[in-house]
């Protein structure tokens, strides 16, 4: 049984997406809650930069 969101910050839709898509989703406003944005961007930074290097210094 699905229920409708009761508060403005609740989402009516959830889905798994690759971490590489997170910055674009945030930029387009598809992730609205500040706590979710902060958590997802931190996870993106920790996981994606670990796999690909930081970009600035070339560290891996």
Q: What is the mean pLDDT of the chain?
A: 79
Instruction: Report whether pLDDT(45) > 70.
Output: yes
Q: How far apart are CA 44 and CA 25, in angstroms?
A: 12
CA neighbor of 32 nearest in space, from 5, 2, 59: 5
Separation of CA 8 from chain center: 18
**8 DSSP 8-state letter:** T
Q: Which residue has the higher pLDDT, 33 or 49?
A: 33
Q: pTM above the 0.85 mark?
A: no
pLDDT in the model for residue 53: 59
What confidence tier does 60 reach under pLDDT thresholds 50, 70, 90? very low
pLDDT in the model for residue 28: 95
Mean pLDDT on 3-18 = 72
Q: How far apart are CA 49 and CA 37, in angstroms?
A: 17
Q: How far apart are CA 13 and CA 4, in angstroms?
A: 10
């Amino acid at each position: 049984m699905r229920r409708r969101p009761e508060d403005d910050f609740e989402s009516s839709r959830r889905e798994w997406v690759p971490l590489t898509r997170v910055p674009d989703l945030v930029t387009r406003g598809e992730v609205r809650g500040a706590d979710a944005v902060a958590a997802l961007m931190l996870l993106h930074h920790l996981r994606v930069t670990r796999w690909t290097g930081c970009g600035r210094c070339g560290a891996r």
